[in-house]
Each structure stands twice: as structure tokens, then as C-alpha cells.
Structure 1
Amino acid sequence: MKDKLNRIKEEAINEIFRVKSIEELEQIRVRFLGKKGELTLILREMGKLSPEERPIIGQLANDTRNEIERELSSKKEKINSQLENKKFNKEKIDITMPGKKIKLGHRHPLIQTIEELENLFIDMGFTVVDGPEIETVENNFDALNSPEDHPSRDLTDTFYITDKILLRSQTSPVQIRTMKKTKPPIRIVSAGRTFRFDDVDDTHSPMFHQLEGLVVDEGITITNLMDTIDVFIKELFGNDMKTRFRPHYFPFTEPSAEVDVSCFQCKGKGCDACGGTGWSMELLGCGMVHPKVLENCGIDSEKYSGFAFGLGVDRIAMVKYGIDNIRLLFDNDMRFLEQF
């Protein structure tokens, strides 16, 4: 038995010396010192020894166990030390190398434009409200006094989800929702994405952004509308800008108008950019809220009146930043967006 113990010790130490991983080291520990290990099996045979041999073999077995455990512990520390050094060398930082540049993002030009418009109207006393992009036909068309045969209701012009649910074609449903749950006075603006079938070109997209405003109160007249639009245009583009109102038709306002602004190049003097007229493109639509729209929302049209207006945020952004193609706003090309 003494020879067996010496053999176990020598074999264990030799194998521990050759080990290169913690996993292999654990396998050796189990093999020699585990419950079914070689040393344990030797100790179970101690009962066969004579009373004189037992203390001698017992001491030798303890010494063997202690020496194997010391070797295991020493080897484990050595392997861990090697692993730490390897990890350190892999993760160490060369302080002489230049640091990595962190790219900071910024607001998209459309978001910048929306926030600028909202802040402008907030300063004028308006409240910003929001609404869902998936709307009901009731809020998107019916409550807005849109005729059953209006072209915008056609499947070729609007994205329908069901017969009664659609992707909103304007932000006007937010006005309807507000008038249904809020009593006058009302003074709100709402901006967001809208959707219509449209061929993509330099100035058109099936998904675009609108901002619409609504004022409802006692004694509201078209003079209030024209003054609000005039102040808005001057605040946005400068005091030298002029506005021109042209009669138009919208089913939800009466009377209605489209608003032109003076040429951004010549400021109304006439140039090649505006064809010598002094006027730029039509910028927004507006009008006095149709009495039927007020009544559809439970507001007494004999007591209250109001005005509404709507403009394309994309168009404002294109004019403001000199962008000549609406696709650039949605392509997510960082070379373009980093300019703003």
C-alpha cells in the first residue's frame, strides 16, 4: 500500500505539471482526490491493515493528499496568473495612440423645422397637440365635411386599411379630436406624418409632414386669420416678407384661401427665380372653419367661429435650407444630413 501511495503521488504531480487549463486541473483533482478517486479507494482498504501499519499508512496518505493539494493550488495560481497577464496584454490601452472620435448626432432638418414652427406658434399663444397616424374615416373625412364623391376619398388617393380605418391624409383629424373633447376657446397646432398616394419626384412623396393650426372662439373673423398668417410668415422668414391670399376651395373651410409669399430671392422686386412676378410658390392653405365642421364636433356655430390653416413642413424645410429634392429628406444619407 505504501508503494501505491507513492505511485499515486508521483503520477498526480507529473500530470499536474503538464496541465495547461483550470478544467484539466479539476479533472486531475477529481481523479485522485474525489469521492471515487484513487487516493480515496486506497484509504477504504485501511481496514485490512494491522494495527501497527494503520498509523504509518494513515500518515503517509495524509502527506500524499496534502502534497497533491499543494501542487494543485500552486498550479491553479500559476494558470490564473497566466490568464490574467494574457487578458491584461489583450485589453491594455496604449495611451500614446489617439483616441477614437465620438460622433454626436443632431436633429434631422425636418425635426428642426417642426420644432421651430411649434415654438413660434407657442410664442403666439398656441398649444401643441398630437394624434394618431392611423385614423377613422369619420375623423379624416366625414367630420371635416368632405363630400362622398371627393377625389381624396378614392382608393387611388388614400391608403385604406379597412373601409373605416386609414392612414391619415392630413393632420386635420387632430383638430376634430380636439374639438370633440375640448370646449372653446381653442388655439392649437399639430404636426406629424401624413400619407397619400403620390408619385415620387423632386417635390412629392407618398409620406410627408404637415403642420395645421386651429382657433375657435367667440368673435373670430377672417381678419384674425390673415393677421395670424402674416405674423407667422414674418417671424419665420423675416419682416420684409409679404403674403398674398388667393380664393380657393376646401370642404372644411368657408371662405378658403391659398397663401403665397414674396420671392425669397428678390423679396418681391421680381427676378428670374420668380418669373418676374415677385411671388414665390403657394406656401399654405387656410380659411374660416365651416359651420358644419363645428356642428359635427358639438360646437354651436351660432356662438363660435374659427379659422384653420395647414402647411407642408417638408416644403418649409426645403425652402429654409435650400433643398431642391424632397428625396434627400428621407434617404438618410449622412453626407447630406451632416450639413444641418
Structure 2
Amino acid sequence: MSERIRLALPGKGALEAATMNFLAECGLKVRRSNPRQYLASMKSLPDVEVVFQRAADIPALVQSGDAALGITGYDILAEHRGYGDDVTDEVEEDEEVLVLVKDLGYGSCRLVVAVPETWIDVSTCADLWHLVGYYRQHKGRGLRIATKYPVLTGQFLRRHNITHCKIFSPHGALEAAPLTDTADLIVDLTETGTTLRENHLKLLEDGVVLRSQSCLIGNARLLGQDAHALKMTEIILEMIDARVQARNRSLLTAYVSCNDQELVQQTCARINQRLKAMGISTEFRLMTPDDGAAPGSYTISGVARVGDSAPELLEIIAVLRAAGATHVHVTPITYRFTESSVSVRALRERLKRLR
């Protein structure tokens, strides 16, 4: 019997719920009889053991090999590795932790520099640089910056030539630090910026340290040496890729009454030209006639991003109706498999370079 591989998942908060929902959508539903249990399984992949951990601990767990795979926030991984997006391929190839899918499509947020809104003359990092000099000259100290991401914050400041700052990680909510005068500014995660504004903080115009979202990571050594672990990982990547490709997409099927197949093809071409002129990427094609279809009836179909915009869907419907199409069916797509999985192909190429 093959040894089970371990997948580490976030065990608390919104990221846990979102991850469980996402995996279920991918056909990888996690079976967990008790929410307090740390171990769980997948019915569709019995050889995968699921372990729930703090999201902050998952990169180290994968790096050590205690888990072959893990899902966590990209911000957490970047802080653990000591660098963000500004990294060369050569550096990534030396890493023990591989980013298998950088964006799983949920958990999006930004790591940003936020200053008191009373600092009316500070709106960019250049302004912050000037303020550092003012503090040193008139207050005899540097700026105090509260953050849970000291490594990424330090790198960001150095890129903007901002030095002589005290970076520290306080307990509790960071937004309160400037209000209680324990810090001058903060570097924190935000989704919409609402919480920052409610605490009288504002974002710098060029103060985005990192854009983050949930990501899938893997241990390079285990995947390179264990064929079974690699096989399970490729199955997971295939299902994730297929689900991400299908997200917000639906199959539109319309029926056209006509006795001439060539005329239907011309109608289909006019529909596509009209949609292209409207900036809509959906392309309709004539389906192979069904032996059981009614005489003089043809079917055309196309894939559209229905979930993104209801008005765009209705614009497509209007074009189909104007061309004589009737009974337009909209069927959500669960999975969309391409010629080959981009993530699987990328993983194989990276493992080859590591050998």
C-alpha cells in the first residue's frame, strides 16, 4: 500500500471556510466529522491525509517535509521566504517550497502602508522619506512602524530609500497603534480599506507592499523523489486548473430555425462579428446536427463569462434573439479541461531543472 501524502490546510477563520468550499468545488471535498479534529481525509483521494494548522505555520510545515502540500496566504509565504514578487527564477529554483498555484481565486487582499489621515502632506513614499528626515531632526527619533510583516516591510522601505525606522510587531489590532501613539504608521493587510478608513488611516498612493491571495505550495524534494506524491499532486492540480478555468463560465446553447445549414453558419458568423464589435469575447459555433433534432432546427453554442456581468449576458442574449435564435439555455460549467494542465506542465518543468 502506498504511503499517504499530507496536505496542510488553514484550520481557523475565513480562510478555512473558503478553502473547504473551494476544494469541494474542485471535486476534492474534505471529510471532517468534528470541527475540532486536526486530521481529515478526502473521499475522492484516499491517499491524501489532510491536517489542519494555523495558516502562518503552513509554509514551515511544507518546507520541513512534514506536509507535501499546503494552502496558505501568499503574504504568509512571502514573509516566510523573505521576499515577494520581485524575485528571479534562479532564486525560486533554489527554494525548498514551490508555489504550485499562486492564485486560487479567493482570499484576495493587499499588504499596504497606511498613515494617519491627519498627515495631509503625506500621500506617497517620497513624502514619507521626507518625513523621516523631519522626525530625526525635530523629534530625535525615526518613524515607528507597526506590522506583522517585518521582513517584507523592511524590504519595501529599503527599495524606497527609507531608513532609520523602528519596525515592530505589537499584539492586538494594528489599526489602533497610531491612535494610541504606540506607532506612527502601520503596514497591514486590507481587502477594501474600510477598516483603515474607519480608524482614520489612509493608504499611500504607491504604498502597496504586496498583493496576496490563497496559494497552493509543495515541498520540492518530496515531489521530486516520491513518484506517488507527485502523482497525487498532479491530480489535485488537474482538478484545480479545471475548476479555475470553469469559474464564472457557462455554456450558452441556442436553437435556430432554418432548413439550410450554410445559412445557419453565416448567421453564426454574424453573431460573432457583432459580439466582437461589442468587446465581448464569446464565440458561437454550429454544433453537429443531432439525429433526433426536429427538422429545420440547428443548435449553436458558445462559452461566456456569465458570473462577471449580468448586463453582458443580456447583451449576448439580445444579439442571439436579433439573429433569430430561440430557447437560449444557460448551463454553468463545473470543470473546463484544456489540452493539458498548465500547472502540471509547469511543475514537471521545474522539477526537471531541480534535478
Which TM-score tier does this pair reach, normalised by the shorter chain?
A: under 0.3
Q: Which has the higher strand share?
A: 2
What's the TM-score, normalizing by structure 2? 0.22
What's the TM-score, normalizing by structure 1? 0.23
Q: Which has the higher helix share?
A: 1
Which entry has the higher C-alpha Rg, 1 or 2?
Answer: 1
Which one has more relative contact order, counting CA pairs under 8 Å at least 6 apart?
2
